[in-house]
Amino acid sequence: MLPGGQGSGGGRLGLLRWLGLRLWSRRGTLVFALLWFGSWLFLNGLVLVHRSIMMSDYCTDDKSQRILQRLCVEFGEGVVTGDMCEDMCVLGLVDYKRCLYYENGKKVMEGRWRGKPIILKSKLENFSSYEPLGILDYQDAAEDVSPLDMVFYATLEVRNSLGLAEADEEEEEGGRGGGGGANSSLARLWGKKLKKRDKSFSRAELASLWSLLQQEEYTFLRLLQDLSTHVAKVLGSCGHFYAVEYLSAGHAWDQNIFSLEDVVVPGRMGRDRAGPRGRWTSREMVHRIALSFLDMVWHFDNDFAHKLHLCDIKPENFAIRTDLTVVAIDVDMAFFEPKMQDILEQNCSSDDDCNFFDCSSRCNLSRRRCNPRRRNTNLQVICEKIFRPWFSPTLLGAKAGLPLQVELQRAVQECSETDGGVDEREDDAAGGRPGGGSSSRDIHQRLLNILTRLLHEGGASDEGRREREERGHAHTSLNF
Ligand SMILES: Nc1ncnc2c1ncn2[C@@H]1O[C@H](COP(=O)(O)OP(=O)(O)OP(=O)(O)O)[C@@H](O)[C@H]1O
Ligand SMILES: *[C@@H]1O[C@H](CO)[C@@H](O)[C@H](O)[C@H]1NC(C)=O
Ligand SMILES: *[C@@H]1O[C@H](CO)[C@@H](O)[C@H](O)[C@H]1NC(C)=O
Ligand SMILES: *[C@@H]1O[C@H](CO)[C@@H](O)[C@H](O)[C@H]1NC(C)=O
Ligand SMILES: *[C@@H]1O[C@H](CO)[C@@H](O)[C@H](O)[C@H]1NC(C)=O
């Protein structure tokens, strides 16, 4: 088909010249045809790969709406329930918008509930695909299950799915008691909330709750709801579907990671300081988001009974609220310390065998086993993968030379490199060695300090210029 294929015939020179002429006159057409063919092949390949990955389960509006209709039929039959069911199935207050994602049965859809944007999620399409709650089989159909029994089962399930060994928790509770602000037994905390109910649970309630508890993400989010602003809020549920707040997810291709157009500026400071539209500059927003990242890291390291490790750090796995708080949205790769240690402790012949995505440890060569303690930290990976691209000199342009910016770049660079030896230092007493280089804690403090100063500086000095800039390009605010 291609001209090259005919080159083997006689009169090679003539043919070549002929081809050359043809090519010359039709080069445009040929190039176009080749490109077209190429992209056709590429697209076909893409669709094939896509289909096989998704197991020919791609997301269509039609399918999604049928799934929700089935859910409502089950609600009508009294099989499932939840605080969102009536709004969804009777009052029509939940609108389906579009589907976002199907993978191996996992459903993620966008919708609106009473006018508020939400994300609807379920790990499996059908309620019947979840394992039924065993005790319902033994229980008399008329008899409801006491909240106490439910607490027992739910707590077990939560511990299991998050890898919080019971023994560990007791130990932590006894050991840490006063210090560190450790928020003792996570699973028990959740149990307490269930226990507050004196009414017993109906079968539909139990079955629905049970299907939700089989979804690790739901369990994780519920557990941390009141403890953390850095996880998505669970707004409600119906059967095996739960709704979380809609957030603006990050993108690798966006220079600012997050699209900052939708951000609303809070009244107090914003209105009297910022421009006529009451907006922050995108630089200011990036600084504020960076501060929220720091807050999140600190919080995940210190505020739970077990450290929470984020093992898949990339822009797509974080989102922001309109108030610029950072939220970790892919919690499938977030592990509490006990589970982290289980994951890391593998046979090894070198350090390379001890990496689990962004979480890594060292190979103990005498034991040929990876150290169960993680070597790097959440902060280190965030510096490397989020902060460094954000604050790189090439993106900053002329502003890169400002002293505070230089200081920030240096701190970020150092933070990305404070890899080795972090865990040894942390194994020492909580105070660590005062003069011993930059520990994770020091570098956190330094970044916090620089970013805070940058925010102050931005607010105080170039206010006039900022306002002018704002008026000038309201829509190009993506570029600092
Ligand atoms: N609260 C949210 N607000 C807005 N978008 C969201 C929210 N939660 C998830 N998404 C989007 O929905 C999609 C899939 O969601 P989710 O991250 O739960 O699936 P996942 O299986 O964990 O994805 P992955 O396999 O990529 O890790 C993602 O593209 C994400 O950006
Ligand atoms: C879900 O249920 C529907 C209707 O009962 C069925 O057609 C579909 O195959 C089921 N899906 C899965 C993944 O089991
Ligand atoms: C747990 O955290 C909450 C809020 O963060 C706090 O009020 C409470 O005192 C903490 N409990 C313990 C035991 O540290
Ligand atoms: C790890 O090594 C031990 C012996 O050193 C061996 O018994 C065990 O099977 C190995 N485990 C795996 C998963 O290879
Ligand atoms: C390796 O493991 C052995 C046995 O548990 C231990 O004594 C040693 O200190 C470890 N080495 C390192 C470098 O951690």
| pLDDT tens-digit readout, 204-235 | 988 998 899 899 899 899 888 888 999 999 99
Q: Ligand 5: residues whose CB is within 6 Å?
A: 364, 366-367
Site to probe by mutation for ligand 5, drawn from 345, 362, 367, 370 as the one with most ligand atoms within 8 Å of Cβ, is 367
Its CATH architecture, for the domain 58-145+201-246, is 2-Layer Sandwich (3.30)
280 burial level (CB within 10 Å; 0-12, 13-18, 19+): buried
CA of 454 to the centre of ligand 4 (A): 52
pLDDT of residue 103: 81
Point out the ligand nearest to the CA of residue 185.
Answer: 3
Atom of ligand 5 nearest to the CA of 366: 1
Q: What token pair was written down for 347? A: 């046979």
Site to probe by mutation for ligand 3, drawn from 172, 173, 183, 230 as the one with most ligand atoms within 8 Å of Cβ, is 183
Local structure of 228: helix, strand or coil:
coil
What is the location of CATH 3.30.200.20 in the chain? 58-145+201-246
CA distance 214 to 405: 47
Cβ 97 vs Cβ 108: under 8 Å: no
**Radius of gyration of the chain, Cα coordinates, nearest whole angstrom:** 28
Local structure of 328: helix, strand or coil:
strand
Per DSSP bridges, beta strands 116-122 and 241-245 are antiparallel
The pTM of the full predicted model, rounded to 2 decimals, is: 0.77
Q: What token pair was written down for 322? A: 């309109």
- Quick one: what percent of the chain has pLDDT higher than 90? 48
Distances (CA, A) of 314 to 15, 233, 254, 258: 55, 21, 12, 12
CA of 183 to the centre of ligand 3 (A): 5
CA distance 237 to 75: 12
333 burial level (CB within 10 Å; 0-12, 13-18, 19+): middle
The residue type at 392: S
Highest mean pLDDT among 131-135, 138-142, 201-205, 429-433: 201-205
Cβ 297 vs Cβ 223: under 8 Å: no
| pLDDT tens-digit readout, 383-410 | 999 999 999 887 777 777 789 999 999 9
CA distance 468 to 451: 23
CA of 472 to the centre of ligand 1 (A): 35
CA distance 245 to 360: 32
The mean of the pLDDT values for the chain is: 78
Q: Is the CB of 69 under 6 A from ligand 4?
A: no
